[in-house]
Amino acid sequence: MEAEARTLAEIALDQDGALAANIVGFRVRDVQIHMARAIERTIEQTGELVVEAGTGTGKTFAYLVPALQSGIKVIVSTGTKALQDQLFHRDLPRVRKALGSRAKVALLKGRANYLCKDRLEKTRLEGQLQSRMQVAELMRIQAWSGRTLSGDIAEMDTVAEDSPIWPRVTSTSDNCLGSDCPHFNECFVVRARRAAQEADLVVVNHHLLFADLAIRREGFGEILPGANVFIIDEAHQIPELAGQFFGESVSTRQIAELKSDAEREAAAAAGTKAAIKLAGANLDLAMRDLRLALHGQNARAAWVTVAGRPDVQKAMTELRQYLHDLHLQLSEIAEASPGLESCRDRAELLLQRLDVTEALDDRDRIVWYEVGERSVTITATPLDVAKPLTEFRQRLRAAWVFTSATLSVGKRFEHFTRSIGLWDPETLLLPSPFDYRNQALMYLPPSLPAPNSFEHTQSLIDAVRPVLAASGGRAFLLFTSHRALKRAAELLSDLPFPLFVQGTATRTSLLEQFRASGNGVLLGAASFWEGVDVQGDALSVVVIDKLPFAPPDDPILEARMQRCKDEGGSPFGEIQIPNAAIAMKQGAGRLIRDSSDRGVLVLGDPRLTASSYGRIFLNSLPPMRPTRSLADVQAFFANATVTMNNGDDEHS
């Protein structure tokens, strides 16, 4: 009777199930079965479920099994394209094969991730590349274009993902010609979307998911196929990403790309080149003047702080006027080709988006700017995304599952659920199956100065040196600012272990070098706090220099905090602490990634024990043994060495 009461997902994930029988190394986890049962129930009831699944739960299998068994349309969304590829090319095939599932599956990315045959051909014929390297890369892409079945540029490992050649041979929603394209019937994006329409399970990423929701909101149809179930992995990223996609944005990069495309299209149409060239030259001057006007200002701030400056007003007036001139010129010749018609429509859209700079901040949104290395972006961001997200869920009438290793703060979910408009979801807090009390130690170095003092980084590095000596390197040092990171790199330049510093190479390259070194020390900032997985002995120490509070001068955070204060709330307690606690859990989560891992988490912020709120952070972390004694750390690694030596002897 007991066997009959088990659900399909439980049967598949149990010790006598399909996954144990067919996947090498599969381990039965009670927490994984618990999660799968809850998802199964949510799908059956078209409900809403929020699951925090600690590291090692096996949440990917826990949601793939009931998703494939459901027999209905499922969309799974992941946090990054790298995780999306891992899920689709590694995890999904194993589960599908183990279950003997015949469900059709598809991978769908945003348009810019696929080769555009039309833009490839135009770039090749135009021949105006900036270096021999780009010419060589174009030739490799040209050869690959005849072999690839998917057109997914992730296949091309011989061309760097940040190469300037890619924007020349891929399209965006702005410059795609759609059904007017001469290559429409062989378009890789069209093929991928058709496959997604026909699939039972589609793997996407959050950026594509929100691009789809934003398009539906404007009434322009949809990118993704209709689904009965949405499973959102790495769901802690959702509130911030939703704000980006439900806002409006315009950048000088978009205008420059339009100008370049317009000139290229005009060159192919008789008698149109000169007028377009003049309008483009004027636009170049206006964009240059805007960058100069913002030079010396904060790199990221509320637009209202600069909008009244005469030089900014002049540059914006000219930018709008010259973009209007380009639009007029394109309108006169748009019928000459689909490409010119597309450029005209893009100019009109960018003119509308420039209106965002005329708007004043209100209680519902913040208008802000950001100055990059080569571009200025102006954005209007909503301060609350709960309402539009609630509207979408109600309209789609699907089951929703949100999961991550970091959704709760102090074992409670309200911070996350309220931010996305979930008012009465089922919640599930599943601890990691790892034995943190024996696998990990939490070291709180004594007598460190205040985190805002000049001496803090020096003192922290002094405290960390003997830890690195005991561990034999094998460490991540995570910093909340690039200034502290650079200072630490200077202080550790004499380290007897390979030193890898963010900014000296790409993230992927640094991680590969770190893993290969076996005893390296890696110094990283924000991008290394999550989505990094190093199992085994290569990583045995994670150092977090300070509590990761967002900078108070961030314009979006500042506006949200002011709104919270105006409504009688506590900005620090309701916004800053929960956000920082989740970020800290992400950073700490780099340490123990497998049941055989052992390591020490070093926390360098004295506020953890000296402040009234420090306990919230400590309670949000896995249950590691705390210590303020360096001798305990040294003994921890000495015992690990003895264990490893014994293991080697037995093996031999």
Identify the band that residue 649 occupies on the pLDDT scale cut at 50, 70 and 90. very low
Q: pLDDT tens, 28-49?
A: 999 999 999 999 999 999 999 9
614 bridge partner residues:
none
pLDDT of 88 higher than 50:
yes
Q: pLDDT tens, 332-387?
A: 888 888 889 999 999 999 999 998 777 666 778 899 999 988 899 999 999 999 99
81 vs 146, residue with greater confidence: 146
Rounded-to-integer distance, Cα 620 and Cα 526, Å: 19
- Regarding beta strands 229-232 and 399-404, do their DSSP bridges make them parallel or antiparallel, or are they unpaired? parallel
**Per-residue pLDDT at 96:** 97
Q: Which residue has the tokens 């095939």?
A: 93
Rounded-to-integer distance, Cα 640 and Cα 517, Å: 20
Neighbouring CB atoms inside 10 A of 166's CB total: 18
Strands (E), 3-123: 48-53, 74-78, 105-107
Q: Are 22 and 98 in contact (CB under 8 A)?
A: yes
pLDDT of 214 higher than 50:
yes
**Per-residue pLDDT at 137:** 93
Neighbouring CB atoms inside 10 A of 577's CB total: 21
Return contacts of 118-122, CB within 8 angstroms, 24+ apart: 118/171, 118/177, 118/181, 118/182, 118/183, 119/168, 119/169, 119/170, 119/171, 119/175, 120/145, 120/169, 121/183, 122/264
Neighbouring CB atoms inside 10 A of 553's CB total: 11
The H or E element that residue 242 is part of is helix 238-245
Identify the band that residue 317 occupies on the pLDDT scale cut at 50, 70 and 90. very high
Distances (CA, A) of 264 to 125, 139, 512: 11, 20, 40
Among 3.40.605.10, 3.65.10.10, 3.40.50.150, 3.40.50.300, name the CATH number for the domain at 436-651: 3.40.50.300
Q: CB-based burial of residue 168 (10 Å sphere; 0-12 exposed, 13-18 middle, 19+ buried)?
A: buried
Q: Which residue has the tokens 């459901």?
A: 70
Q: Which residue has the tokens 């080569």?
A: 374
Q: 504: which 2 tokens? A: 């000296």
**Per-residue pLDDT at 643:** 41
Q: Are 584 and 601 in contact (CB under 8 A)?
A: no
Q: If DSSP codes are grouped into helix, strand and coil, which group holds residue 51?
A: strand
Rounded-to-integer distance, Cα 301 and Cα 368, Å: 6
Q: 10: which 2 tokens? A: 């439980």
Rounded-to-integer distance, Cα 296 and Cα 218, Å: 37
Q: Which residue has the tokens 């696929």?
A: 114
**Per-residue pLDDT at 232:** 97
Rounded-to-integer distance, Cα 219 and Cα 555, Å: 30
Q: Are 250 and 354 in contact (CB under 8 A)?
A: yes
Rounded-to-integer distance, Cα 315 and Cα 553, Å: 25
Point out the least confidently predicted range of 360-364, 584-588, 604-608. 360-364
Point out the least confidently predicted range of 217-226, 296-305, 307-316, 543-552. 217-226
The H or E element that residue 404 is part of is strand 399-404
The H or E element that residue 426 is part of is strand 426-430
**Per-residue pLDDT at 80:** 86
**Do the domains 2-104+386-430 and 436-651 sit in the same CATH topology, yes or no?**
yes
- Provide the whole-model pTM: 0.89
Q: Would you kindly state where each structural domain of the chain is located, as residue ranges?
A: 2-104+386-430, 249-324+356-382, 436-651
Q: 458: which 2 tokens? A: 């020096």
pLDDT of 220 higher than 60:
no
Tell whether the torsion through CA atoms of 485, 490, 491 and 493 is positive or negative.
positive
Rounded-to-integer distance, Cα 121 and Cα 339, Å: 13
Q: 430: which 2 tokens? A: 């599943």
Mean pLDDT of 259-278: 79
pLDDT of 247 higher than 90:
no
531 DSSP assignment: S
Quickly name the fold that domain 2-104+386-430 has. Answer: Rossmann fold (3.40.50)
Rounded-to-integer distance, Cα 607 and Cα 620, Å: 15
Q: Are 151 and 86 in contact (CB under 8 A)?
A: no
pLDDT of 648 higher than 90:
no
Mean pLDDT of the chain: 90
Identify the band that residue 651 occupies on the pLDDT scale cut at 50, 70 and 90. very low
Strands (E), 440-591: 440-443, 475-478, 499-501, 521-524, 541-544
Pick from 254, 211, 212: nearest CA to 378: 254
Q: pLDDT tens, 423-432?
A: 999 999 999 9
Rounded-to-integer distance, Cα 313 and Cα 328, Å: 23
pLDDT of 86 higher than 80:
yes
Identify the band that residue 270 occupies on the pLDDT scale cut at 50, 70 and 90. low
Mean pLDDT of 132-157: 93
Q: 191: which 2 tokens? A: 């093929």
Distances (CA, A) of 461 to 215, 278, 449, 618: 49, 57, 12, 22
pLDDT of 462 higher than 50:
yes
**Per-residue pLDDT at 272:** 60
Pick from 77, 73, 168: nearest CA to 125: 168
pLDDT of 218 higher than 60:
no
Rounded-to-integer distance, Cα 492 and Cα 379, Å: 39
477 bridge partner residues:
523, 543
pLDDT of 265 higher than 90:
no
Neighbouring CB atoms inside 10 A of 46's CB total: 12
Q: 592: which 2 tokens? A: 């123990």
**Per-residue pLDDT at 245:** 85
